[in-house]
Each structure stands twice: as C-alpha cells, then as structure tokens.
Amino acid sequence: MRVRIVKVARRVLMVTICLALMFEADGPDFDPWAQLGWRFQADLSGWIGVHIIFSLFEICLVAAIVLWFLRDQKAKRTSRFQRGILLTPVLVFAGALAFGIANGLFRGGGNLTIALWEVRGFLILIAAYMVVGMFIHTDEHVNQLVWVIFIAATVLAGENILRWLIFKDAILSDDTAYDHTDSIILVCAMLIGISVLTYGGTRAQRRYMWLLLPLCSFCLLIMKRRAAFPVLAIGLVVLVIFLLRLRPRIFWRVVPPIAVVTAAYLAIFWNNSGTLGQPARAISSQFNPDPRDFASNLYRMIEKADILANIQQAPITGLGFGQQFAMVYPLPNLSFWPFWHYTTHNAILWVWMKGGVIGFLAFFWLLGCAAFYGARVVETQREEWALVAFLRKRFSRRGSRHANGDARQYAHLMLRPATRDSKKSVTRKRAAASQAVGLNVPAWERSDDKTSATAYRSGTLAILVVAVCMIPVQVMFSYVDLGLTSERTMLLFGLMLGLIGRGYMLLGVQPAEERQRGEWRQTGNGTGPAPSQAGGETKELVRLLTGGPTSGEEAQPQSRPSAGQARRAATRQTQPASTSSRGSKWQSAVRSSAESSGDDTPTVGYDELLPWEIPGKTLD
C-alpha cells in the first residue's frame, strides 16, 4: 500500500503544477474561469471566511511533500531525495532571505506578514527545487513534467483567446485583461516545443508542438504584453547558442535565413501597431514609444530612481523584507494594490533594495551556478556523441585501415544503436537490462518504435536546454514585470533549477572529475542505467577494447601508449574488470551479444590505439 504512496504523491504534485500554471492568480472579475483560478491561488481566508493564510495551491504542494515523507522503507530505497548540484547555492540564498526578513523586523516598523508575503515566491522556488529531487528521477517523470507544462500552456492560451473573443467589450485595457505572468509560462512552453523539435522528444510531444506553437504565438499577440516578445527573443538566443554547440550544421542551415526574415519583418512592421506588429512594437517602443508605452516606461523610470535612492540608504544590508520603500520621486497612484509601497515592478533591483548586497550576491550566485552547470550538463551529451561519431568513423568498413577484422566486428557490435522492436509484452526495463549493447544514440536520432537503454526517446535533453534558457528569460522578465513575487513563475523557475541540479543524474552521466575517479553513479530508482547512460560507459569500453587506462587510472591525454603498455593493456582486457562492476557487466553484455551473433569474443590488440582526447566532431 505504502509503496504506491510515492506514485500518488507524484500525481498530486503534477496535477498541482498543472493547475497552478494554467490558472491565472489575478484574472479579471468578468471571466468565471479566472475566478476559479483566483480561488485556487488566493488565500483561503479570502473566500471561505476562515482565517487560513494558505492557498489551495500551497496546500496541495505541501500535501505532496508530506505524502513523500510517509513512504515506507522499501519506497525509501527506490525514491531517495537527490540533493542536486545547486543545493548549496539554494541554501545560501535561503539564508540570505532569512537574514532579509530578520533585518526588516529588527530595523523597526517592519511587518512580518508583509515580509512573508514578499518572500512567498522565493519560498515556492526553494520548495520546487526540493520536490524535483523527491519526485523526478527518470526520463518517464521528466516526460510527465513536459506534458504537464504543455497541457497547462494549452489551456491557458485557449482560455485567454476565448476571453479575447467572448469578453471583448468588457476588456478595458490589454494590461489588466491578462495576468502579467502568463507571458513567461507561454514563452517557456514555446521554448520547450522548439527544443523538443531540435533536440528530440517523444513522437507525441513532437507532433503536439504543431498545435501548441501557433496557439501560444497567437495568444501572445492578442495579449499585447510588451515584455513577452523580448523574453521570447532572449530565450531563442540562448537556444541558438546551444544549437551552435550541439548541432552546428543545423545552426548554419537554419539560423541565417531566420535572421534575414526577422530583419525584413522588423523593417516592414516597425511602425505597425496592429496585432501582427506587436513583436516589432516591443523593440520600436524603446526608441519611439506611443503614449501608452511612454506612460509605462515613465512609471518604470521613476520606480528605478526610487529603488536606487533606497539602495543608497542601506546598500550592504538592504531595507529588509516587510519594510516600505521610500518614494523619493512620487509614483503614479496604484493604491488599489496592497504591495504598492513594498514591491516594485523591477524585481531584480528589488532583491538588492530589500536584501542588500548579501541577498543580491546570493541570488546571482544561484543564477550563475545554474547557468554554468546547466550548460555543462548539456555539454556532456555533445562529448559523448562526439566520441561515438569518432568511433563510428574509425571503425566503419571503409575507414578502418588499421583495425583488424575481429576488432571491426567487435566495434560494429558496440556502436550499432541498441534497439529492438517495441512490444507490449516487453517492458522497457527488461530491454534496458538485457539488450543494451549498442552505445549512445543522440536524442534527435532516437525512435519510438525501438526500446533500449540508448535509443529510447525522451524530452529530457530538450527540457534541460530550456531550463538554462529560462534563466536569462526570468531575469529579463523580472526586471520589468514583477517576475520574482509571482508564485506561478517561481514555481516554474524552481522546477527548472531543480532539473538543472539533477541534470547529470537525469542524463545518466557524471561530472568529468567523478568519471576520472571511476565512481560510477547509482541510478535514482535502482532499475538500471538511464537511457543515455551508456554513453558514459563508451569511454570505458573504448579503454577496455583498446587497452587504454581503466577508469580507476589517470587518463593520459594526447599520449600514445608504448608497445609494452599495449601488451599489458591487452592482457588486462582478457581478465575480469575489477575496477568497476559496471565495466564487467558491459563486457559480458558485449560478449553475449557477440556470441548470439555467431562470433567468438574477439582478441583485442590493435596495432594503433585510439587517442584519448577525442576531436570535437558531432553526429549531425
């Protein structure tokens, strides 16, 4: 009974995420669907008459976490908490928040309730980072999360379009008709969609994109929020950087024509204020704003001047959360908003104003670490694929001048994609355990028709790329549009940080320094290697095949072993691998596959060994 409790908790979590993203927290009164969303995200005390300061969303999130803690011993072994590589920056940032709250209270005139409201978004971010470590351990879980985001974005976009169609007369201004944070959720879904098409995903995900992308694009156009288009542009720029690194041929084939089309579009629609001209307006209004944009720009300019004046008052410690900021330069009246004196639209500088240099340092250290390690995680895939590409070329029938026949057959067995026809009676786990002989297939070359440890399709790489994209997207959005105080955006951002933190585990690879020590990762769910984990073992097999240094030994870049070393390595190859249990497992897997193909286990002894530094080639 209790074994299933983790599954139940995961479903509660996924449903909660879906509802939180699809429902607007602050929709207009005339839309009944928006009222439903308000009830889900507002404090219960606001609509049931009982003083409960938590919303349904927060209660569901806490319920999922509580259920996870109630799991039994058996479930504890298979569903452990994964700390992730960003745990330290996240905890440091949490400490900075605690300092900011204490500073606000002890400074005098502070309000604890307001302070807790101010940091509520950050608390959701930290909670979201933690729940990823609790619940998302495998490709299957990541795919569920991808679908949750897709469904939420679809419903959100559909509802906004219906609101535009049905309540057109009731909409007084575009600014108040839609929630600020809708833009970032739709942009995230669009980026995941493009990333799934570029870096691979399941067939259903890729097909669904052709519905979701136009829907979200149209929704962004009718919402007319200026912030949406720059943040989409910045996300696409990061996506393009990844494309340049991972798939350079696609980059040179796709990006220059798109750049030309974009330049032509901007030239044609520069002064157009219609629906199609909204993306161009987001840029042109910076230089030549219309009256509406001028008023919006002016508010933010005055607000920024106020923020700088307040930062100068306490640059190191900040004002503290729960303290009002001084309006040195009077702002337009927004007294209907309870946090008018506490929270600014520029949420990035607001962090410095309230948390001081300490909070700002901790926040940007977290963002910087996420950007850096996220990029490192994705980069591991290029390294693995580059290695496989090199070996494929090296051992191809035409290209292997130096390898003897046995070695060529052996390499062919190793490098073919480990695939088998998918059957309902064969579970993926069994296939992963017994059939995974071939090594790493790039995510975009995989197929739904095959099941194996290395050829199974998933959106893991795609969403990891988007997770990194969302960091500058979030910063840019938060700089102008209250991005860090919204629970919805912080939930999404926390999930992205959580995925980056567990990126190595989800992709089934290890940081380079751990690989050098030969410490093989144990998978989170204990069901065997993750789909692309075999790529990490490619190098080990190459070493075994070619008699190079084993994982427990120090690799010697750019050095060519002597004949004696090669003989010793070949001798070592014939003995059971003692440095790594996984190495022996892979040896036996390769051997059994060779036997099933009617071949004898080949004798390894190349007259020329592979270089240990693999040149930067890709499989495009």
Partner 1 sequence: MNYMLLFLFACIILGLWSPTKAKRGWIVAVLVVLLVAFLFVSPSHM
Question: What residues make contact with partner 1 under the rule CB under 8 A?
Answer: 234, 238, 241-242, 245, 304, 308, 311-312, 315, 348-349, 352, 357, 360-361, 364-365, 367-369, 371-376, 378-379, 383, 468, 471-472, 475-476, 479, 512-513, 516
Nearer to partner 1, 174 or 383 (CB): 383
The distance of closest approach from Cβ of residue 414 to partner 1 in the complex, given in angstroms and rounded to an integer, is 22
Alpha-carbon distance values, 402 to 1, 314, 394, 599 (Å) = 59, 70, 9, 20
Sign of CA dihedral 33, 35, 36, 42: positive
Nearest in space to 613 (alpha carbons), one of 511, 547, 539: 539
Ramachandran angles phi, psi of 292, nearest 5°: -65, -45
Nearer to partner 1, 66 or 308 (CB): 308
Treating both helix axes as pointing N-terminal to C-terminal, what angle do 87-106 and 120-135 enclose, rounded to 10 degrees? 160
Angle 474-9-130 (CA atoms, 0-180°, nearest 5)? 40
Convert 264-276 to b/e letters by CB count within 10 Å (16 or more is b). Answer: eeeeebeeeeeee
Nearer to partner 1, 132 or 469 (CB): 469
Nearer to partner 1, 472 or 605 (CB): 472
Nearer to partner 1, 520 or 612 (CB): 612
Separation of first and last alpha carbons in the chain? 48
The distance of closest approach from Cβ of residue 130 to partner 1 in the complex, given in angstroms and rounded to an integer, is 22
Nearer to partner 1, 156 or 282 (CB): 282
Beta carbons within 8 Å of 532's beta carbon, 6+ residues apart: 381, 384, 440, 443, 454, 460, 461, 507, 508, 509
The distance of closest approach from Cβ of residue 188 to partner 1 in the complex, given in angstroms and rounded to an integer, is 16
Nearest in space to 134 (alpha carbons), one of 469, 494, 432: 494
Helices and strands, counts by H and E, the chain: 25, 0
Beta carbons within 8 Å of 84's beta carbon, 6+ residues apart: 129, 132, 133, 498, 500, 501, 502
Sign of CA dihedral 200, 205, 211, 216: negative
Counting beta carbons within 10 angstroms of the beta carbon of residue 9, is it exposed (0 to 12), middle (13 to 18) or buried (19 or more)?
A: buried
Nearer to partner 1, 107 or 304 (CB): 304
The distance of closest approach from Cβ of residue 345 to partner 1 in the complex, given in angstroms and rounded to an integer, is 13
Q: Please answer whether residues 518 and 555 qualify as being in contact, where contact means their C-beta atoms are separated by less than 8 angstroms.
A: no
Beta carbons within 8 Å of 212's beta carbon, 6+ residues apart: 150, 153, 154, 157, 189, 190, 193
The distance of closest approach from Cβ of residue 63 to partner 1 in the complex, given in angstroms and rounded to an integer, is 35
The distance of closest approach from Cβ of residue 91 to partner 1 in the complex, given in angstroms and rounded to an integer, is 15
How many of the other CB atoms lie within 10 Å of CB of 446? 23
Nearer to partner 1, 42 or 241 (CB): 241
Nearer to partner 1, 77 or 517 (CB): 517
The distance of closest approach from Cβ of residue 476 to partner 1 in the complex, given in angstroms and rounded to an integer, is 7
The distance of closest approach from Cβ of residue 544 to partner 1 in the complex, given in angstroms and rounded to an integer, is 20
The distance of closest approach from Cβ of residue 593 to partner 1 in the complex, given in angstroms and rounded to an integer, is 29
The distance of closest approach from Cβ of residue 568 to partner 1 in the complex, given in angstroms and rounded to an integer, is 24
The distance of closest approach from Cβ of residue 95 to partner 1 in the complex, given in angstroms and rounded to an integer, is 16
Alpha-carbon distance values, 438 to 302, 532, 538, 598, 609 (Å) = 62, 11, 9, 17, 21
Nearer to partner 1, 347 or 566 (CB): 347
Nearer to partner 1, 447 or 516 (CB): 516
